[in-house]
Amino acid sequence: MKNTFKIGEIVVCVDASRRWFKLGGLKQNEMYTVIGFNPYDGGLILDESKSPGSGQQAYKADRFRKVDYDFADNILTTLVMPEGSELTAPQFDFSVLD
């Protein structure tokens, strides 16, 4: 089975539903590290969680997606502090108060 994930890659869980034959253990939108693959069905073996229902302790790959690093970079660039002249305080005219 062809797998698009790589060992050491961070993945995000998109389907944390419990299977009737498994105990679960995944959390929706939680990030996990891929440390290997099930040789029989291409399931993901994760560092942070083990699937008790699988002999290889792997989860189905379609329950995960890759982390969208471009989206995160775009968010960070919008949150970056302004530099130099953008940080100067506004000047007020206090002559009208006298």
Ordered structural domains, the chain, with CATH = 1-68 (2.30.30)
d(CA 62, CA 26): 13
| Partner residues linked to 66 by β-bridges | 11
d(CA 96, CA 41): 78
Q: What is the pLDDT of residue 96?
A: 66
Mean pLDDT, rounded, for 17-23: 63
Q: Which is more confident, 14 or 97?
A: 14
Q: Which is more confident, 92 or 28?
A: 28
Q: What is the pLDDT of residue 51?
A: 66
Task: Indicate the pLDDT class of residue 8, thresholds 50, 70 and 90.
Answer: very high
Residue 4 has what DSSP assignment?
-
| Partner residues linked to 33 by β-bridges | 10
Note the pLDDT tens digit of each residue in 36-93.
998 888 889 998 887 666 666 788 899 999 988 888 788 888 887 666 666 677 777 7
d(CA 20, CA 23): 8
Angle, vertex CA 38, rays to CA 32 and CA 44, nearest 5: 15
Dihedral sign for Cα 52, 57, 58, 64, please.
Answer: positive
